[in-house]
Amino acid sequence: MRLDELIRKTERRLRAARLHYGHGTDNPRDEAAFLVLRGQGLPFDADLAQAANPARVEPLIRKRIRERIPAAYLLSEAWLSGERFYVDRRVIIPRSHIAELLAQGLAPWRPRVVRRILDLCTGSGCLAILAARAFPQALVDAADLSAAALAVAKRNVLQHGLQRRVRVVRSDLFSKLHGERYDLILTNPPYVKSSAMRRLPAEYRHEPGLALAAGKQGLDVIARILAEAPRHLARNALLVCEVGDGRKAVERAFPRLPLVWPADEVFVIGRRFAT
Ligand SMILES: C[S@@+](CC[C@H](N)C(=O)[O-])C[C@H]1O[C@@H](n2cnc3c(N)ncnc32)[C@H](O)[C@@H]1O
């Protein structure tokens, strides 16, 4: 069987299984290609006319269908902005909208000088690493409460050769970052409200609850970040925060804050909100 035939066959099986997507792909065709190609260690631009090895990917396809395990966990890798990150169940699978903003250099909000960056709630370290690439002169702190997540972040920092510029810090939000100030704070914090947590598709239940759950309104962590961030933003600094589908809740809870929304899922706010 050829690769393209195996991808088509796999796509049909995934479609019939009525899976949920959103962990790197958003449809059965792309998910099938991901499983079939990467499951055989092939690049995404492999020649699809070549012979496939169905036996090698069959266990992955079965697990994807029967146990609803996201493909990224089955393959131990996730792709964001064209970069590969190691992932396992200690971290959520990278998919942050902040990656797109970083790819555009944060224009038009880019602070003039970016020497120090904080990626708060770093998980796999993906945003810290993308930020280090977007700002090659900057030093980056990658902070998370979960020691398990930080072990994955460390592995990714090493994999990307950034250990000189990206420091991994275990911290409950800013608690271990006393006195530190940053030109840029990025954060993709937990923001799923309790009612939505109860309805999550099976795929999300394989991800760490600590990475998702954020109380009744989904604002528990965001509210703490907004309260504490001003003390950690340098002059002319910028806070970039992902909120998922919580935009309305955020705007209702913080009507006075001059939030700007580059995308519905992300707000940016300048240092001046502290005054
Ligand atoms: C939505 S995930 C984001 C991970 C990564 N930045 C990304 O975009 O893929 C949220 C992360 O916040 C961490 N977290 C949850 N509560 C925290 C807290 N109080 N302080 C620091 N990190 C926290 C979780 O461990 C998880 O890794």
Q: How far apart are CA 171 and CA 192, in angstroms?
A: 21
Q: Which of 44, 75, 106 is the last residue of a domain?
A: 75
Q: Are residues 108 and 137 in the same domain?
A: yes
Strand 260-263 versus strand 266-270 pairing type: antiparallel
Q: Which of 27, 47, 75 is the last residue of a domain?
A: 75
Do 184 and 238 touch, CB atoms closer than 8 A?
Answer: yes
pTM, full prediction: 0.96
Q: Does residue 64 form part of some domain?
A: yes
Q: How far apart are CA 124 and CA 100, in angstroms?
A: 17
Q: Ligand 1 centre from 122 Cα, in Å?
A: 6
Q: Does residue 85 form part of some domain?
A: no
94 lines ligand 1 (CB under 6 A): yes
Q: Which domain holds residue 218?
A: 91-270
Q: Are residues 21 and 60 in the same domain?
A: yes
Q: Are residues 97 and 61 in the same domain?
A: no
Q: Which of 41, 75, 109 is the last residue of a domain?
A: 75
210 lines ligand 1 (CB under 6 A): yes
| Closest C-alpha to ligand 1, atom 13 | 121
Q: Are residues 126 and 172 in the same domain?
A: yes
Domain count, the chain: 2
* Adjacent-strand bridge partners of 141: 118, 167
173 lines ligand 1 (CB under 6 A): yes
Q: Are residues 172 and 142 in the same domain?
A: yes
Q: What is the pLDDT along the chain (275 residues), one digit of tens a residue?
A: 999 999 999 999 999 999 999 999 999 999 999 999 999 999 999 999 999 999 999 999 999 999 999 999 999 999 999 999 999 999 999 999 999 999 999 999 999 999 999 999 999 999 999 999 999 999 999 999 999 999 999 999 999 999 999 999 999 999 999 999 999 999 999 999 999 999 999 999 999 999 999 999 999 999 999 999 999 999 999 999 999 999 999 999 999 999 999 999 999 999 767 65
